[in-house]
Amino acid sequence: MPTRAPYPFAEIEPHWQKRWAETACFRAAQPGESGSEKPKRYILDMFPYPSGSGLHVGHLEGYTATDIVARYWRMRGHNVLHPMGWDAFGLPAEQHAVQTGTHPRVTTKRNVDNFRRQIQAMGFSYDWSREIDTTDPKYFRWTQWIFLKLYEKGLAYVADAPVWYCPALGTVLANEEVLTTPEGPRSERGNHPVERRPMRQWMLRITAYAERLLRDLDLLEWPDSLKEMQRNWIGKSEGAEVDFAVAGSSQKITVYTTRPDTLFGATYVVLAPEHPLVSALVSSDRRDSVEKYRRDSAAKSDLERTELAKAKTGTPLGAFAINPVNGEKIPVWVADYVLASYGTGAVMAVPAHDERDFEFAQTFHLPVRRVIRPLSGKDEPGCYTDDGVNVDSGFLDGLKTPEAKARVIEELEKMKQGRRQVRYKLRDWLFSRQRYWGEPFPIVWRNGQPNPLQAKDLPLTLPELSDYQPSPTGEPPLGKADGWKNLPDGSVRELNTMPQWAGSCWYYLRFCDPGNQEAPWSQAAEKYWMQGGGVDLYVGGAEHAVLHLLYARFWHKVLFDCGLVSHPEPFRRLVNQGIILGEDNRKMSKSVGNVVNPDEVIAEHGADALRVFEMFMGPLEQMKPWSSKGMEGSVRFLARVWRLLCEETESGEWIPSSNLTDDAPSAETVKTLAKTTAKVESDIEGLQFNTAISALMVLVNHLTALPKRPRVALLHLARILAPFAPHLAEEIHQRLGGQGLVSTTAWPTYRREDLQDKVIELPVQVNSKLRGKILLPPNSTREQIESLVSAHPDFSAWTGGKKVQKVIIVPGRIVNLICP
């Protein structure tokens, strides 16, 4: 026989979910509609990719947090936009299509329906009238329209790029999607072999916005660690370009360095294997070994070549470069620790003052020349990379590093052999994918040139295919749709599709005005919902800390420059929720078998208990393990709330408690309600949900201990419990005769004076050692405190009869008597 539920959540929760849906009580008012005169709050989750495995309890942590905040501000009289949608293009549905023949659209719809069911079972207060799906032509029409804006501004272009191509997946992968394994580079998804290939790709010129992406981080209320990750990814550095003439040739090698002050210490030059000058400069006797080295390097990822490289590799070209400041001939090498994608793809190697150059010089017995002495004057063994004073550096001798940098750049510019430079590690965004299930590019090719479609021809939808497998040559699956690909005028459609990032770059703007058929959003809707600096609270996983946020910020700035949005940044405040681990303290994973399915938890304990537990586990941003015992604690707490107003008959029926009263609450209960409400308010606004729940537990203990429980006190409890356990709060509100829905009731008020105790306890120290305590009114003046202390019967014992020289009072905290 199944265990009886501690309170009837299985009846309560579906009932209130149905009521909320019927009354559309979470619908946000558009500007001009009734309700839009209220202050707005835009509370947003990073919308999910609807995978086949459904949601697990880790996903729900962030959604629960934003729902508490959204419900709270709604009750505080705000017009709250709290939407949900689906980032539904992507590789998993396409792989499923390749394996089973099921159209990705069918798989995606099934997954979306399951995600929606699971989310609705949690009682989240989303405005479902705004639901969007990135695979809906009514949505991606505008993704394509924004791409055309990028193209018009010269920010979308075609380039041949060396890319990671995965034959098994039939697509190009970003560097972040490639794993380094003992077997060689592999795809993160499916662990398939990948290879380097030059391919025609669409690129977005995000580098044009590097400085603004860096600078505008100062406008944002984001965690410092997250801002730092963005800064590191953008990777701004200030230095110089230096031209090295090639001995016996008209060619020159241009290097970029952040330490031009070390130029006198350069003992060789290194080119990346992909550098175009390698073929031109290699001597005939070195050609075979250099070509073999280039082939070997092409099979490695950037990570393998840099951070993961256990030993430095390289080979000489047989050419020499001339150092512009001292005329010295130094050898030119090719080595894969230099990347073509960073700087100029060439470095001047100063092994005495750069760790990577030092390791390389040690490996190949190249000279190490010290030209910087530490400020301390002490010679440091090995490689010295800090600032100091120049030595053995000609005209730079005796200059400190900042002055030496400025002086050498000045000289190089005079000699026309160098120039001051600001560089960024950020690279342009590779924006093509050789797959079917993505947004088609609104581009046709004529005579080898790309031509944009007109806005009136959008959306350009995907053709129906029966075979989603890419061709072995790497031609995308769209190449099989001859009738779609080839146009009557002889032009050919672009066959690549956009990456999954495209739809998530602007979805927060579509939520402002999702029904608009004439524009992606109206100016009025964008100005209203994005006023005050954009989305008021954006919550999601730390795995999106760099790419999604950087890409969305880039698109938003382009839209700002087009006059289409009113603020240069999309997300004013951002919080990353921590990961919920399995009960075994490992990351939840189907293969490990430690995934906790919310469907099972809701069936056993109810959605309210799951919501309360996820928020009670610890601070939102922290990583924490799941605990079945902890889950039971949340159930017991809600069962105690229920028993404040209901008791169970012998037949198992719930009836009103005989302890309820219509009497006014006592002064002590009024104070407890006021203090709890103030604490819950401040904790919700500070996203400290675990301590807010602790305060609610203290209040429930107080109410449970009362011989008679005032209905008005329980109605107050229902309102401050509503953001956390909304179904139970609605039931209590209704059973006690509350008007309407608790979800749309005003947040309870309290008197400020009820937050203050009638007396407080103040410790008394003598010469900073605790001697006793006094009781006094909280608003006592300094004179009153001194008077109470000196009149205390233990005053002489505290001071040992000594004279008090000074009295230090920290109001509300402590009194310290100084006695010599």
Question: Which residue's entry shows tokens 């175009």?
Answer: 276
DSSP 689-739: HHHHHHHHHHHHHHHHH-SSEEHHHHHHHHHHHTTTSHHHHHHHHHHTT--
Burial 564-580 (b: 16+ CB within 10 A, else e): bbebbbbbbbbbbbbbb
At 485, which helix (H) or strand (E)? helix 482-485
CA dihedral 607, 612, 613, 615 (to 10 degrees): 130
The residue among 82, 79, 75, 64 whose CA lies nearest residue 129 is 82
Alpha-carbon distance of 279 to 288, in angstroms, equals: 11
**Paired residues of 173 in beta bridges:** 164
Q: H or E segment at 812?
A: none
Q: Which two tokens stand for residue 138?
A: 């009514």
654: left (phi over 0), alpha (psi -120 to 50) or beta: beta
What stretches of 426-546 adopt beta strand conformation (E)? 429-430, 443-446, 449-452, 492-493, 537-541
Closest to 144 in 3D by CA, of 479, 490, 520, 476: 520
Q: Which residues pair with 587 in a beta bridge?
A: 581
483 with 477: CB under 8 angstroms?
no
H or E segment and range at residue 181: strand 178-181
pTM given for the model: 0.84
CB 690 within 8 A of CB 653: no
Q: From CA 132, how far away is CA 142, in angstroms rounded?
A: 12
Nearest to 365 by CA among 314, 297, 323, 324: 314
Task: Examine residue 459 and say whether the peptide bond preceding it is cis (omega within 30 degrees of 0).
Answer: yes
Find the DSSP H helices in 220-276.
224-234
pLDDT of residue 166: 85
Phi, psi dihedral angles at 651 (to 5 degrees):
-85, 0
Residues of the chain falling short of pLDDT 70 = 1-3, 174-176, 301, 303, 307-309, 472-474, 758-759
Q: Measuring CA to CA, which residue among 179, 235, 226, 301 is closest to residue 546? A: 226
CA distance 187 to 168: 9
444 Rama sector, left if φ>0, alpha if ψ -120 to 50, beta otherwise: beta
| CA atoms of 99 and 38, how far apart (whole Å) | 52
Rounded CA separation 364/626 (Å): 53
- Residue 111 and residue 437 in contact, taking contact as beta carbons nearer than 8 Å: no
What one-character-per-residue DSSP string does 407-450 give? HHHHHHHHHTSEEEEEEES---EE--BSSSSSPBPSEEEETTEE
Joined tokens for residue 40:
């707005």
Where residue 484 falls (left for φ over 0; alpha for ψ -120 to 50; beta otherwise) is alpha
Pairing assessment for the beta strands 346-349 and 329-334 based on DSSP bridges: unpaired
713 contacts 757 by C-beta, under 8 angstroms: no
Interacting residues of 431 by C-beta distance below 8 A, sequence separation 6+: 156, 201, 202, 203, 204, 498, 499, 502
Contact 439, 89 (CB under 8 A): yes
For the chain, the first-to-last Cα distance in angstroms comes to 76
Q: What is the pLDDT of residue 308?
A: 63
β-strand pairing of 580-581 with 769-776: unpaired
Query: Which string of DSSP letters, residue by residue, matches 537-606?
Result: EEEEEGGGTTHHHHHHHHHHHHHHHTT-SSSS-SBSBEEEEPPEEPTTSSB--TTTT-PPPHHHHHHHH-
**For residue 504, which of 32, 13, 26, 85 has the smallest C-alpha distance?**
85
Q: Quick check: 484 and 492 in contact, CB under 8 A?
A: no
The tokens 């949690």 sit on which residue? 122
d(CA 424, CA 714): 59
Q: Which residues contact 47 (CB under 8 A, 6 or more apart)?
A: 84, 85, 86, 87, 504, 507
Are 412 and 240 in contact, with CB atoms under 8 Å apart? yes
Alpha-carbon gap, residue 228 to 459, rounded angstroms: 38
Roughly what angle, to the nearest 10 degrees, separates helices 91-100 and 104-120? 130
CA–CA separation, 125 vs 119, rounded Å?
10
| Residue whose C-alpha is closest to residue 431's, from 146, 129, 678 | 146
DSSP characters for 308-333? T-SS---EEEEEEEE-TTT--EEEEE
Position 516 scores a pLDDT of 96
Q: Is 577 in contact with 62 (CB distance < 8 Å)?
A: yes
Tell me the β-bridge partners of 257. 240
Q: CA angle at residue 582 from 577 to 587, to 5 degrees?
A: 65
Residues comprising the chain, all counted:
820
Look at residue 1 in the predicted model and tell me its pLDDT.
Answer: 35
The whole-number pLDDT of residue 175 equals 67
Q: How far is CA 815 from the centre of its chain?
A: 47
